[in-house]
Structure formats: structure tokens, C-alpha cells
Amino acid sequence: MNNVSESVLEINGLEVVYSTNRGDVKAVRGIDLDVRRGEILGIAGESGSGKSTLAVALLRLLKAPGKVTGGSVVFNPAGRSPVDLLKVHGEELRVLRWSSLSYLPQGSMSSLNPVMRVQDQFKDVILEHAPDRRNSLHEMIPRLLAQVGLEPRVAKMYPHELSGGMKQRVLMAIAVALEPDLVIADEPTTALDVTIQRVILQSLADLRTDFGVTLMVISHDMGVHAQLADRVAVMYEGELVEVGDVRQVFKDPRDPYTRQLIESIPKLGRRAS
């Protein structure tokens, strides 16, 4: 929060193309975007606007037929030299992952390995990137779980024994386990019931407060952004149509599409004519 001007991530002219048998689909078309350290950046946009593609490309998880066709993504992890995320490979990339750049996936239902206990899925990643913490695991895992409002016994459970909301919170705890510089959360609340959704949003806000992580939150639900984000970026057909402070975007949208998006939200208390 203190060093807002510094960027964790500088995206320049990023382009992603899916080549299908019906021709190429340009899912991301030249995006320029900075993510500032310590902020919560919301990415909004309709279904199919390329939000997930953007996230996946940043995380270097893009699978065929998707392909990055241009641009650069400079990542500035604290205490390390900047790297172009699109150029790192192999071991270098693997080391960067999680300790600096972590991910909160959309599919909480299926992102946990069904045959491993929750604690093993923590251990896995912690030991991989910070083997020196082996001895503190026993206190670390309950602490992380408590952070997201889960009891220690959850560590001994299997994913199928958890409800959707609990799973999502386990994923959140894993995401911040190594105190990364940036967490990219793709639709962290969709597919959850409203009450649980609220709990999750609460916990996400807590993460920033408690760990100081930078969050990039992707959601199509403008309500989520209004509640959570510091800044909002709006995507439309693969392009960034507007980036700005959350108040500015909601109260004074500059782009016609953004305006349309905000107007089409059915709000309680306002009956359509």
C-alpha cells in the first residue's frame, strides 16, 4: 500500500491468438496494463472478452491452440531483478512460480488433487520452493488455514469432503502460502452461492491487508469489482477499453461500452421500465 507507484507487472502490447480450424481467433489484442504493487486490480468484461486468456497468458499456462503472438510482460518481483514473463523458460520459470507469482483458479471444484489431503497439497508447493521451511510446516498450515477462516482439521481432509466455499478458501490459503508478489485470481466467486461469495470477497480483501500481496481479480460481476477493487480494467473483445480508479469507472465511465456494461446490471431497487 505504501509504494503504490511501483509496478509489479508491466504488460505491453500483449497479443494472444487461438488458431482454430475456422481461422485464428484473436482473444487478446494488444493490451497495455500496469499492475501496481499492493493494489487490487479488477479485470471486468463480458463473457468471451478474453479475461481468462489474459490471466492464463500471464501465468504462462496457455495451452495449444493458444499462442502469444506479441508484446512483453515485465514482472518485478520484490528482491529480484525484473524478468520478461514471456521469455523465461524451464527451471527459471518454475522457480518464479508461486514464490513470486501465484494463481487462484476459477475451478475451485476441480483444482485440488482429489487423491491428496489438503495438507499434502500445501506441503507440495512449500517444499518445492522453500525447502528450508520443512520444520515449520506443522505450524504454517494451520496458520494459513486460520487466515481464511478454516479450522486446522481441514488440513487432514480430502477435497471431496469440503464444500465449494471451503475449497475456494483452501486455494486462497495455498495461493498466499509463500507470500508471492502477485496473485492472479480468475473468477474467484462464480459458481458459489451469494452468502459464500461474500465470505470469499471478505477474505480476499483480508489477504491484501494481512500479507500485502498484489491481487489481480478477474470477474464478470461488476458488483465484485465495486466491492473489492482499487482500480478496474474493462475488457471488450480482447481489448482494454478503460482502466481507472474504481469510483471513476463506476461513477464516470469514459468508454461507451463501460457505460453500457454498468447500466445493464440489474440493480435491486431499480425496476426496469
Ligand X SMILES: Nc1ncnc2c1ncn2[C@@H]1O[C@H](COP(=O)(O)OP(=O)(O)OP(=O)(O)O)[C@@H](O)[C@H]1O
Q: Which residues bind Mg ion (CB under 5 A)?
A: 52
Q: Which of 220, 222, 236, 258 binds ligand X (CB under 6 A)?
A: 220
Give the residue among 197, 151, 196 at the shortest CA–CA distance from 173: 151
Q: How far is the CB of 87 from Mg ion (least distance, A)?
A: 25
Q: Which of 226, 239, 255, 259 binds another protein (CB under 8 A)?
A: 226
Cα 153 to Cα 9: distance, rounded to the nearest angstrom: 37
264: exposed, middle or buried (C-beta count within 10 Å: 0-12, 13-18, 19+)?
Answer: exposed
User: According to the binding rule CB under 6 A, does residue 197 interact with ligand X?
Assistant: no
Which option in ligand X, Mg ion, another protein, none does residue 114 bind, with CB closer than 5 to 8 A by kind?
another protein
Cα 57 to Cα 60: distance, rounded to the nearest angstrom: 5
C-beta closer to ligand X: residue 66 or 253: 66
The footprint of ligand X on residues 33-62 (CB under 6 A) is 45, 47-53
Which option in Mg ion, another protein, ligand X, none does residue 25 bind, with CB closer than 5 to 8 A by kind?
ligand X
Whole-number Cα distances in Å, 273 to 266, 269, 270: 12, 12, 9
Single-letter residue type at 97:
R
Q: How far is the CB of 188 from Mg ion (least distance, A)?
A: 12
Q: How far is the CB of 3 from another protein (least distance, A)?
A: 23
Cα 77 to Cα 183: distance, rounded to the nearest angstrom: 12
Q: Which of 2, 3, 135, 272 binds another protein (CB under 8 A)?
A: 272
Cα 74 to Cα 220: distance, rounded to the nearest angstrom: 26
Q: Which of 10, 15, 18, 133 binds ligand X (CB under 6 A)?
A: 18
* Contact present, 78 and 68 (Cβ < 8 Å): no
Cα 256 to Cα 265: distance, rounded to the nearest angstrom: 15
Cis peptide bond prior to 105, omega within 30° of 0: no
Which option in another protein, ligand X, Mg ion, none does residue 140 bind, with CB closer than 5 to 8 A by kind?
none
Whole-number Cα distances in Å, 173 to 59, 139, 199: 18, 14, 14
User: According to the binding rule CB under 8 A, does residue 269 interact with another protein?
Assistant: yes
Binding segment for another protein among 7-15, 23-31, 116-124, 132-140 (CB under 8 A)?
A: 116-124
Give the residue among 189, 219, 212 at the shortest CA–CA distance from 202: 189
Q: Work out the number of other CB atoms within 10 angstroms of the CB of residue 114.
A: 8
User: According to the binding rule CB under 8 A, does residue 132 interact with another protein?
Assistant: no
Binding segment for another protein among 15-23, 33-41, 90-98, 209-217 (CB under 8 A)?
A: 90-98
- Contacts with another protein, residue ranges (CB under 8 A): 46-47, 59, 61, 93-99, 102-103, 105, 107, 109-117, 124-125, 128-129, 149, 151, 158-166, 174, 193-199, 201-203, 221-227, 246-247, 250-251, 262, 264-269, 271-272
Q: Where on the chain is the footprint of ligand X (CB under 6 A)?
A: 18, 20, 25, 27, 45, 47-53, 65-66, 220
